[in-house]
């Protein structure tokens, strides 16, 4: 018997792992899966509740900690003495005993469930829990956070942090003013002549086929690539943000200095400045990003490794101007309710995208999808244009 088994027979642990098969379907991370080694660890710590029709992990909080929607955006606080229930495994056709068990806890209890599965949400509501918000992690998982206070509260119960409204956005179109002219809702959004000129220059300069492949585990078939107009190097093929890179990368580049600056290509595209002339706050990275046709895919992921991203003042908001696209390009962003919001971004429009939330892009058309992608520091005026 191996040490990780904690004294439990391997066949027993494998049997329990099979019980969590439906739960594991929603897992996008090796850290959330219920596998035999993790099950053995929970058993050893007396954290597993195992009954005929349900199982879950539970513990009592020993020190306070925040529950974050994203890093730095709290939606709740676990206090000493609170109970946490998570990693629930159950038969949707047999929920009576589970609901009864969850509703009977006397201490303040946090219930963490897969938000994209309707059965988990029903269990939470039926057990008397209130939905507080959702957690998004770097693997693209969405965890619904529910709370049930202790019964017979004399002081009004637990208060939870109020989220900044912008944290709930997924994709939002940019508007230039409050007036929409004619029947085309995009007439007023961007300088379409600038868009056309940018595309013509990309073709004339022979740049369309010379984009730099984008480093990413989510770049399926190397179909996602970019060119930089403004970034952390004067080299337009340097499309990396050093803050997003791992220790191995930093060790390799330890003797190099990286700072925000224009690349040699910026001056060739004054049309970009026309598109950005309304911006009053600092502009950070500017890139052309390409997704190849015929099924080119940027797989579902989040961009949470960059602490600068967000919607509050001083944080970076990312905007997309489609330069070249087709009707078969679909951009998806998942919201806090686990709903996939699909957007087809037409040339001549501009969109804000919250890249901290799970998102995916697929190009099933026959032409390249090329977007101008710009990171802009947030303020009230910028948010008001969405």
Q: Where is pLDDT greater, at 342 or 348?
A: 342
Collapsing DSSP to helix, strand or coil, 328 comes out as coil
The token duo for 321 is: 């101007």
Residue 122 is inside which H or E element, if any? Answer: helix 118-126
Length of the chain equals 386
Residue 155 is predicted with a pLDDT of 60
Cα dihedral 67/69/73/79 (nearest 10):
-10
% of residues, the chain, pLDDT over 90: 80
- Spatial contact of 198 and 208, defined as CB atoms under 8 Å apart: no
Question: Tens of pLDDT along 148-166?
Answer: 998 876 666 789 998 788 8
Average pLDDT over residues 73-77: 95
3-state secondary structure of 69: strand
Calculate Rg over the CA atoms of the chain. 24
Cβ neighbours of residue 256 closer than 8 Å, sequence gap 6 or more = none
CA distances from 259 to 66, 233, 256 (A): 33, 7, 10
Tokens of 31: 């850290």
Q: Give the 3-state DSSP-derived string for 193-229, with helices as H, strands as E and coil as C.
A: HHHHHHHHHHHHCCCCCCCEECCCCCEECCCEEEEEE
Run of H or E residues at 38: helix 36-44
Classify the C-alpha dihedral 179-311-244-276 as positive or negative. Answer: positive
Rounded Cα–Cα distance for residues 321 and 344 (Å): 12
Cα→Cα distances 371→66, 178, 295, Å = 37, 25, 17
Q: How many CB atoms lie within 10 A of CB 11?
A: 9
> pLDDT tens-digit profile of 175-212?
765 444 444 444 445 788 999 999 999 999 999 999 99
Q: What is the mean pLDDT of residues 239-257?
A: 84
Order the strands of the 329-334 sheet from edge to edge.
Answer: 219-220, 296-301, 359-363, 329-334, 340-343
- Among 128-132, 139-143, 216-220, 282-286, which is the least confidently predicted range? 216-220
Mind listing the pLDDT tens digit for each residue in 103-161? 999 999 999 999 999 999 999 999 999 999 999 999 999 999 999 998 876 666 789 99
pLDDT at position 253: 84
What is the pLDDT, as a whole number, of residue 130?
96
Helical axes 36-44 vs 10-19, angle rounded to 10° = 100
Tens of pLDDT, residue by residue over 13-38, are 999 999 899 899 999 999 999 999 99
Cα-based torsion angle of the residue sequence 285, 227, 368, 198 in order, rounded to the nearest 10 degrees: 80
Burial 63-102 (b: 16+ CB within 10 A, else e): eeeebbbbbebbbbbbeeebbbbebbbbeeeebeebbebb
Domains and CATH numbers, the chain: 3-161 (3.40.630.30), 168-384 (2.60.120.330)
- 246 against 294, higher pLDDT: 294
Return the closest-CA partner of residue 376 out of 304, 303, 286: 286
Cβ atoms within 10 A of the Cβ of 250, count? 12
Query: What pLDDT score was predicted for residue 181?
Result: 42
The number of CA neighbours under 13 Å toward the Cβ of 256 is: 12
Burial of 175 per CB tally in 10 Å (0-12, 13-18, 19+): middle
- β-partners of residue 333 are 341, 359
Confidence of residue 249 (pLDDT cuts 50, 70, 90): confident
- Tens-digit pLDDT profile for residues 317-341: 999 999 999 999 999 999 999 999 9
Look at the block and give the residue holding tokens 């806890």: 105
Residue with tokens 């020190």: 63
Q: Who has greater pLDDT, 174 or 75? A: 75
Q: Name the phi and psi angles at 221, rounded to 5.
A: 65, 25
Average of pLDDT values for 217-242?
93
For the chain, the average pLDDT equals: 92
Q: How far, in Å, CA of 147 to CA of 154, rounded?
A: 17
Q: What pLDDT is attached to residue 188?
A: 44
- Distance (Å, whole) CA 47 – CA 85: 10
């Amino acid at each position: 018997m191996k040490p990780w088994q904690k004294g439990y027979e391997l066949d027993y642990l494998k049997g329990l792992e099979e019980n969590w098969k439906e739960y594991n379907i929603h897992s996008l991370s090796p850290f959330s899966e219920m596998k035999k080694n993790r099950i053995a660890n929970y058993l050893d710590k007396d954290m597993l509740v195992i009954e005929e029709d349900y199982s879950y992990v539970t513990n009592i909080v020993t020190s306070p900690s925040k529950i974050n929607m994203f890093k730095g955006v709290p939606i709740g606080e676990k206090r000493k003495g609170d109970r946490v229930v998570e990693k629930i495994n159950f038969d949707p056709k047999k929920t009576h005993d589970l609901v009864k068990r969850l509703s009977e806890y006397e201490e303040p209890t946090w219930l963490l469930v897969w938000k994209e599965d309707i059965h988990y949400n029903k269990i939470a509501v039926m057990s008397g829990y209130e939905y507080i918000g959702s957690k998004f992690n770097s693997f693209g998982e969405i965890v619904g956070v529910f709370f049930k206070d202790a019964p017979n509260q004399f002081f009004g119960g637990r208060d939870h942090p109020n989220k900044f409204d912008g944290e709930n956005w997924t994709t939002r179109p940019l508007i230039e003013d409050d007036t929409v002219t004619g029947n085309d809702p995009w007439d007023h959004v961007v300088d379409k002549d600038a868009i056309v000129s940018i595309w013509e220059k990309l073709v004339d300069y022979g740049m369309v086929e010379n984009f730099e492949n984008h480093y990413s585990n989510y770049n399926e078939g190397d179909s996602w690539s970019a060119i930089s107009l403004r970034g952390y190097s004067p080299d337009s093929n340097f499309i990396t943000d050093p803050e997003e890179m791992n220790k191995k990368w930093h060790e390799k580049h330890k003797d190099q200095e990286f700072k925000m600056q224009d690349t040699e290509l910026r001056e060739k595209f004054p049309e970009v400045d026309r598109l950005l002339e309304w911006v009053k706050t600092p502009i950070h990275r500017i890139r052309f990003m390409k997704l190849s046709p015929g099924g080119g895919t940027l797989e579902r992921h989040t961009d949470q490794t960059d602490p600068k991203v967000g919607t509050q003042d001083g944080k970076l908001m990312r905007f997309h101007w489609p330069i070249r696209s087709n009707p078969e390009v679909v951009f998806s962003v998942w919201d806090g309710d686990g709903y996939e919001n699909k957007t087809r971004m037409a040339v001549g429009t501009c969109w804000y995208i919250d890249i901290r939330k799970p998102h995916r892009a697929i190009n099933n058309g026959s032409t390249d999808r090329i977007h101008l992608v710009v990171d802009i520091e947030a303020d009230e005026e910028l948010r008001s244009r969405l």
